[in-house]
Structure 1
Amino acid sequence: MAVVLHILSCLLGLGSWVAINGVWVELPLLVPHTPEGWELPSYLSLLIQFANIGPLAVTLIHKFCPGRLREGPVIFVILAVGIASCVLLAFLWQETSWVGSSRRSTALLSLIFFLSLVDCTSSVTFLPYMTRLRPDYLISYFIGEGLSGLMPALLALIQGVGVVNCEPMNRTESNESYATGNLTAVYQPARFPAWGFFLFLAGMMGLCLIAFTTLHKMSKELGLQDAGKGKRRMKKDPWSKGIMQKPMMGEDETKTKVVKKETRKYSTWEKVFIYLVLAWVNALTNAVLPSVQTYSCIPYGGRIYHLAATLAAIANPVACGIAMYLPSRRLLTVGSLTVIGSSIGSYIMGMAVLSPCPPLLRDHTGGVLIVGI
């Protein structure tokens, strides 16, 4: 039973951000076929920010209408929307239409917005649902959430998206063919098309829905859905085994000291610092840097951009795993990491500003640096 619950929790976390992470790593294959071109990542960043209306709506409903919104039905709805959006993307992502005086990828952008809405809303629905279970199942959920970035990234590496070679442009004059000094970008075909990748994302979302359906059914059988009776059932509930057990003699004083040490209260200024750091880091990682990634990477070549986008998705679960097993609540550590991250972000922004002729353009060191950071 415990192994099954861990697997189900992991699969639920897998579906939390797999769709948008997948779209990010597939961008090098989408960009050459869309009217937006290399502006597409900027549009994607904006759509993700607009999709935060979902978490805002859920938060407001919980605030002003407590008890009206249940996480279970909401999760079913958002997972169904995610599956439908991925399937439609597989067949409609190349469809365009005129908006004003320019042609736009209306189907692609609209469906990406719905996927963003699904993934953003999962942050405020999946976690509250998982808090009904034992804490160790929550760890399995976070492992799955990390895999939501790793799985699409590995598939994109296998697919070989965005691999481009610069070849001389051939021209014909007086029935003679010759190569000029001009180069043209020749994109190498992927091992399988974009529609196959989107169907893979739909399959991941479908697997998440099956896992949640099973988890929800098991929770009903064990009687965990009644929050008002949760405390009375903890002692006999196999999912909460050990939580309500009386500690052994001599443990009370030790545990009390540990709890006091771990739950020290922050001052007002410390809280302000923490919130400012959260706002700054989220702005960099979720909005500013992704939107300029094309400008900072493309001058070094399509292969560099492909590696940077794919490895960034892999780095996220690795960082989450490090934070999970080596947690630190020291504000000095938080501040130091923020300074280091801001310095790296400044380098990326500098390369984007200097694009298309950044430093080390003809040197392999430039590509290695932009991928590594």
Structure 2
Amino acid sequence: MALLIHILSCLFGMGSWVAINGMWVELPLIVPEIPEGWYLPSYLTVLIQVANVGPLCVTLMHRYRPQMLNELAAIYTIIGIGILASFLLAFFWKETLSVAGSVHSVALLVLTFFLSIVDCTSSVTFLPFMMRLKPQYLTTYFVGEGLSGLVPGTAAIIQGVGMVQCVNQTERVNGSTENSTTSQLQAWYQPANFSTQVFFFFLSLMMVVCLVAFLLLNYLPLVQQEHKSAKCYETDITNARELKARNIRKPEHKPMISQAEDGKPTKQTRFGTGRYSWSQVLFIFVVLAWANALTNAVLPSVQSYSCLPYGNNAYHLSAIFAALANPLACFISMWMPNRSFVLLGILTLAGTTIGSYIMAMAVLSPCPVLIHGNTGTTLIVISWLLFVLFLSYVKVMIGIILRDEGHSALVWCGAVVQLGSMLGALTMFPLVSVYRIFQSGDPCNTQCPI
């Protein structure tokens, strides 16, 4: 039964971001068919940030009108919207309308906005629902959340998205004699193995799987027993903490002082169980926002710039290993959990340092360091793997810490995740799309000096 619940939790978590992640990996096939062209990623960035109105409304209702918030109904609603929107995309993603004198893919943008609301709102609805189960299933949920990027990415690789073959193109030189020609390698994108319509049907099916997993987690009799066990577990934890607090508290001398795990006195807070001081709570949420800003917005927006100068293989390997690193970090956290703030700080610093190297290579594109030879390719691929691995482990462990702080803590966890991602995206959008400080590398030709 435990294995079944782990599988269902994983499938439920997979539906959290599978739709938007699927949109990103399908861009190379969508862009040539729509009037927005490669400006579409900029539109997507704006739409995703506007869609944060969903988690904002849920968070405000949880804070000020909790009696009006029906968590189960909210989850049913957003999953239903995800299924319908991805299904309609299969039929209308190429349809265009004239708006203010110019042609736009209105259907694609509107339906993508609804998918963005679904995925953004999942952060503040799916996570609190997992409070109904025992803590170990939350880690499995994070594994599924990591797979929400790996699964559509794998499907896109099978589809053949972005597969480039360098072909030798010979052209006649203008104004020269008949026999004067020039030859250079040009990127030729191979045709896909199946259509974009089929891919959107696949995304809709993934959302259906998420719905089925949610129904079973909510109503399957065997899982209902786990719900009761989880309630007993929470009660035991609460009682144990209250008993410990009574044993160590000295109200006549220090009414606002309690003992932390290391035996040192810390000021109690009203956040969660009051286990952590305000400075520790601030550290948790700052690290959480920073890690999500880097992994969800800042570095993904420059991945192509950091990798393509080293060749198309470097780009695909980096994308694959980055997608694998997320669920790998979740598995590591299952077998080697460590809640030490010192360790989390060290891993955050290490991930930030590696991310700085990746950002530097993107800024130096199309001529980053070590572009000639295999050393640069190896470094950029390993950098992406370690960057995602370290910060994903930090995010999972913070999620587990906040899970023990109660339902409200997980709601705030989801809100801070979206806040960090939004700030990261709003920071990178003008740099990438307005000021265009990054330049793409050619996967087939390198004009950089040795």
Q: Pick the TM interval, shorter chain.
A: 0.7 to 0.9
User: Counterpart of 1:192?
Assistant: 194
Shift of 1:45: 3.5
1:294 equivalent in structure 2 = 304
Asked if structure 2 preserves the Cα contact closer than 8 Å seen for 1:296 and 1:348, the reply is: yes
| 1:11 maps to amino acid | L
Q: Following the alignment from structure 1 to structure 2, what is the Cα–Cα distance between the partners of residues 39 and 370?
A: 26
Q: Calculate the TM-score normalised by the size of structure 2.
A: 0.67
Does structure 2 retain, via aligned residues, the 8 Å contact 1:92–1:107?
yes
Q: Summarize the Cα distance change of 1:135–1:260 in structure 2 as closer, same or farther, 3 Å threshold.
A: same
**What amino acid is aligned across from residue 378 of structure 2 in structure 1?**
V
Cα deviation for residue 60 of structure 1 reads 0.6
Cα deviations by residue, 1:313-336 (Å, 9 ceiling, x for unpaired):
222221222234322222322222
Residue in structure 2 matched with residue 180 of structure 1 by the alignment? 182
- In structure 2, do the counterparts of structure 1 residues 127 and 261 end up closer, same or farther at CA, with 3 Å as the change threshold? same
Gaps of 5+ in 2: 238-242, 249-258, 267-274, 384-450
The change in CA–CA distance for 1:268 and 1:260 in structure 2 (over 3 A counts) is closer
Cα deviation for residue 160 of structure 1 reads: 2.7
Preserved CA contact (<8 Å) 1:86 1:201? yes
Instruction: Identify the range of structure 1 (342-351 vs 102-111) with the bigger mean alpha-carbon deviation.
Output: 102-111
Distance 2:172 2:370 in 1: 35
* CA displacement, residues 260-297 of structure 1 (integer Å, 9 cap, x when unaligned): 63898544444433333223222211221112222222
Aligned residue identity for 2:149: G
Cα distance in 1, alignment partners of residues 378 and 107 from structure 2: 35
Counterpart of 1:214 in structure 2 is 216
TM-score (norm 1): 0.80
Give the conservation status (yes or no) of the 8 Å contact 2:146–2:323: no
1:310 to 320, 325, 334: 320
Deviates more, 1:153-162 or 1:52-61: 153-162
Amino acid at match of 2:213: A
Amino acid paired to 2:182: T
Q: Match for residue 359 of structure 2?
A: 349
Contact 2:58 2:124 (C-alpha < 8 Å) held by counterparts = yes
2:206 equivalent in structure 1: 204
Q: 1:371 aligns with which of 361, 365, 381?
A: 381
The answer to whether structure 1 residue 150 and structure 2 residue 160 are counterparts is: no
Distance 1:131 1:245, change over 3 A: closer
* Partner of residue 109, structure 1: 109
Quote the Cα distance in structure 1 between the aligned partners of 2:346 and 2:158.
Answer: 36
Alpha-carbon separation, structure 2, partners of 1:113 and 1:306: 27
Structure 1 unpaired stretches of 5+: 225-233, 247-251
- What does 1:113-132 align with in structure 2 at a 5 Å threshold? 113-132=113-132
Displacement of 1:347 after TM fit? 1.8
Distance in 2, matches of 1:339 and 1:242, equals 34
Say if 1:22 and 1:149, in contact at 8 Å, map to a contact too: yes
Matched residues in 1 for 2:374 and 2:43: separation? 30
Instruction: Describe the SS at the equivalent of 2:182.
Output: strand
How many positions carry a matched residue from both structures? 353
- The 5 Å alignment of 1:223-234 reads none
Identity %: 54
Q: Which residue of 2 aligns with 1:337?
A: 347
Q: What SS does the corresponding residue of 1:327 show, helix, strand or coil?
A: coil
